[in-house]
């Protein structure tokens, strides 16, 4: 089953992804702690809403963003930003557009008719904030999912929480914890196998051998936990990478080896 095409808000997503990665070293553990219960629920077995999605939601709040725009002192600037976001998430409200060029107000359009036209745009964005936030978060995820080095660091940080919270996890999800107090291995759903295969371009991320089986079918595909379950890694969908059988065997259940090797659109 091929993934369905979907409209994504890539510009907003790119901004959020950059912000969330840049702030990871200062706020990572706080954000993870803040969404602890949601994250634990999404990591016991592969879920389409990953720990990264929850981490991103710590930084994404359209309501707060609009609220902070009020300081601009010019309602036309607020409108531009709100309109751009609504447009980017592909929402099409049936609302009249303001005509700033036909207005004589020179003090931010707070007192004139323009304000009455813009207010419904702001209300509309706030009313649809869940939908807007979710789409921007999923768009940001598209970028972060490609950054195996960051995924490694993120899941290494998350493993500390898993270790600390093991008693809680065991109590709440007894079927998902082993006798050795580690998260239990789960099967990989087809959507996850395909995504990891596609992201890693059908090659082992360590030795770079071809796993596409186009010319030879000797090489077996292995989906590997970047942070192994044995060292408190999880089944989170963003903790996976593509390996060949021999690299998977030599990586073992303690190494967190990954690589940042990728295939650029072209080489410089």
Q: Which listed residue (10, 112, 126, 223) binds Zn ion by CB under 5 A?
A: 112
Cβ nearer to Zn ion, comparing 109 with 182:
109
Q: Does 45 bind Zn ion (CB under 5 A)?
A: no
Query: Segment contacting Zn ion (CB under 5 A): 32-40, 89-97, 108-116, 227-235?
Result: 108-116
Backbone angles phi, psi at 215, to 5 degrees: -105, -30
Strand partners, 177: 183
Among positive and negative, which fits the CA dihedral 255, 205, 134, 50?
negative
Q: Please list, residue by residue across 20-53, b when 16 or more beta carbons sit within 10 angstroms of its beta carbon and e when fewer do.
A: bbeebeeebeebbeebeeebbbbbbbbbebbbbb
Q: Does 91 bind Zn ion (CB under 5 A)?
A: no
Strand partners, 197: none
Number of residues that bind Zn ion (CB under 5 A): 10
Q: How far is the CB of 256 from Zn ion (least distance, A)?
A: 16
Q: Does 161 bind Zn ion (CB under 5 A)?
A: no
Cβ nearer to Zn ion, comparing 105 with 165:
105
Strand, helix or coil at 208? coil
Q: Does 114 bind Zn ion (CB under 5 A)?
A: yes
Query: Two tokens at 119?
Result: 């207010």
Q: Does 109 bind Zn ion (CB under 5 A)?
A: yes
Q: Does 105 bind Zn ion (CB under 5 A)?
A: yes
Q: Which listed residue (183, 244, 251, 258) binds Zn ion by CB under 5 A?
A: 244
Cβ nearer to Zn ion, comparing 137 with 247:
247
Cβ nearer to Zn ion, comparing 116 with 167:
116
Q: Does 223 bind Zn ion (CB under 5 A)?
A: no
Q: 48 and 174 in contact (C-beta within 8 Å)?
A: no
Question: Which ranges of 165-266 does DSSP label H, i.e. alpha helix?
Answer: 166-172, 190-199, 245-251
Q: Does 169 bind Zn ion (CB under 5 A)?
A: no
Query: Segment contacting Zn ion (CB under 5 A): 15-23, 38-46, 178-186, 244-252?
Result: 244-252
Q: Does 77 bind Zn ion (CB under 5 A)?
A: no
Q: 159 and 34 in contact (C-beta within 8 Å)?
A: no
Query: Segment contacting Zn ion (CB under 5 A): 103-111, 213-221, 249-257, 260-268?
Result: 103-111
Q: Which residue has the tokens 């939601």?
A: 57
Query: Two tokens at 157?
Result: 């940080």
Q: Does 251 bind Zn ion (CB under 5 A)?
A: no
162 Ramachandran zone, left/alpha/beta (phi>0; psi -120 to 50) = alpha
Q: Which listed residue (32, 204, 237, 242) binds Zn ion by CB under 5 A?
A: 204
Q: Does 247 bind Zn ion (CB under 5 A)?
A: yes
239 Ramachandran zone, left/alpha/beta (phi>0; psi -120 to 50) = alpha
Cβ nearer to Zn ion, comparing 36 with 193:
193
Residues that bind Zn ion (CB under 5 A): 103, 105, 109, 112, 114, 204, 206-207, 244, 247
């Amino acid at each position: 089953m091929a993934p369905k095409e979907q409209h994504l808000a890539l510009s907003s997503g790119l901004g959020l992804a950059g912000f969330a990665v840049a702030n990871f070293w200062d706020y990572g553990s706080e954000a993870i702690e803040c969404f602890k219960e949601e994250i634990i629920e999404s990591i016991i077995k592969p879920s389409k809403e990953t720990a990264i999605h929850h981490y991103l939601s710590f930084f994404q709040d359209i309501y707060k963003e609009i609220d902070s725009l009020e300081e601009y002192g010019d309602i036309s600037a607020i409108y531009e930003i709100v309109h751009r976001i609504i447009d980017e998430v592909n929402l099409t409200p049936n609302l009249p557009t303001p005509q700033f060029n036909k207005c004589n107000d020179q003090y931010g359009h707070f007192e004139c008719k323009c304000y009455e036209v813009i207010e419904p745009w702001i209300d509309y964005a706030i009313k649809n904030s869940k939908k807007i936030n979710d789409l921007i978060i999923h768009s940001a995820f598209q970028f972060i999912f490609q950054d195996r080095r960051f995924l490694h660091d993120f899941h290494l940080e998350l493993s500390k929480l898993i270790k600390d919270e093991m008693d809680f996890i065991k109590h709440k999800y007894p079927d998902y914890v082993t006798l050795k107090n580690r998260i239990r291995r789960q099967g990989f759903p087809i959507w996850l196998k395909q995504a990891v295969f596609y992201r890693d371009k059908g090659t082992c991320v360590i030795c770079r051998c071809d796993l596409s089986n186009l010319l030879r079918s000797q090489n077996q595909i292995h989906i590997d936990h970047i942070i192994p379950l044995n060292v408190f890694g999880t089944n989170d969908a963003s903790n996976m990478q593509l390996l060949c059988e021999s690299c998977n065997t030599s990586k073992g259940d303690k190494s967190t080896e990954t690589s940042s090797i990728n295939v650029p659109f072209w080489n410089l």
